[in-house]
Structure 1
Amino acid sequence: MTAALSALVVDDEQPVLDELVWLLERDDRIGTVRAARSGAEALRVLDESDIDLVFLDVAMPGLSGLEIARVLSRFRSPPRVVFVTAHDEYAVEAFEMNAVDYLLKPIREERLRESVRRACVDSESAAPATEDSIAVELGGVTRFVSRRTVSYVEAQGDYVRLHTADGPSHLVRVPIGTLADEWADAGFVRIHRSHLVSLSHVREVRVNSGRCSVLLPVGDDLVELVVARRHTRTLRELLHERAL
């Protein structure tokens, strides 16, 4: 049986802090629960105690949850992190930091228990995350989609739809321009104002009457996307470099 996890809850709002501590103490997978009302206090607790799982409020005075998580990532054995917030605009950045989960306030007990389950699974695997993930929300449940599985990204207003090589698509609230900047180093390139493609998933480049297009896998099919003229040269150069 897996040993109970030690947890630390960090939130500057006392009612939220008290509720999270109370809910976690009701979970038999959690052993000790510590609490902190600021980033500085949280770091003191982490320095003094062995903590397995940290529930971090994203927006706090002083050190934010994201800043604390960056400090934790430099620990030799960093605790697993669950972000807690009233807003979802930090989800992309949070999961690029390999967070276990991303909880939206108000917290539901069953949703919190799912976060603990994920932390337990992560603990049992003992293998560090080797690739970035992005959080997608479906039916009140946050799931992780590996960036490696994404063939292309389609802009839909302030959202993007992630089309994966194994078939499913996922809607995420982030502008395509933001994702293009954040995923450039992972081999994603803009081919059109509405499309961002993964170079590793490009199966074929076609040129017909001066028009360039690329074929990418989505499930059992190949999807053809037109490349805007101003992006054609950059795309072909990047594909050539990747083939060398």
Structure 2
Amino acid sequence: MKITCLLVEDEKLAREELEYLIGKSDDFKVSFTASNSQQALEIINQAEIEVVFLDINIPGISGIELAKEINQKEAAPLIVFTTAFDDYAIEAFKLSAVDYLLKPISEARLEQSLQKIKKQLKQKINYNQKLANLLANFPEQKNNKQENLLNKIAVVEKNYYLMLNFTDIYYFSTQDKKVWAHCQKKSYMTQFQLKELEEILPGQFFRIHKSYIVNLKHIKAVIPWFKGKYQVLMADYSGHKIPVSRSKVEKINKLLNLK
């Protein structure tokens, strides 16, 4: 699969030139483009982006400020700054940018940057895999943690807290910065973030997407989607379909004995 890129550039010719150069690579694909910071944020919030090529001088908030917002997100994409000025280099690397490209960008210089990106993405994948392997070697500790849980979670119901059994929850989702617990026929607002829930939920729950945690025991079907990805059909009343992030496909194959 190709590495998905977003180009944020307000100058049409510069955007098209960079898109052309990146498109010559076998490993990268420009899936989205934006001409201002607002468009870029909307795309990043809705799609899975691995790399953002970000011009610093764009309409709306600057590329530097946009990068700060991007870095606050879970599973934030890598950032490569593109600019005609070198005044921001120090600030760019403070934000952990992968690279800093000065315009006009040559094909050779871009190729160096693409190699850096591939190396960082590979290191990230290897780290996640090593962590998963490490955790898999400690089943007793994991079980002890689960045995000590209350096996309930407090959700908001009118003017009181309702205690829901974990077994009654089909999935959690996030919307408008709020996290909801979805049961067979009803949904409840929680006071948690998905990252917090990952730490307290028992083993049958899995973070399948940046916006969803599902109860594996309440998956009704797995539906093949485009480019080797999946959707899972939940067994709740509405039959909700949830996308599986590309990075989670291999793990889901193992957890559900698909391959």
**TM-score normalised by structure 1 residue count:** 0.50
Name whichever structure is richer in helix by fraction. Answer: 2
**TM-score normalised by structure 2 residue count:** 0.47
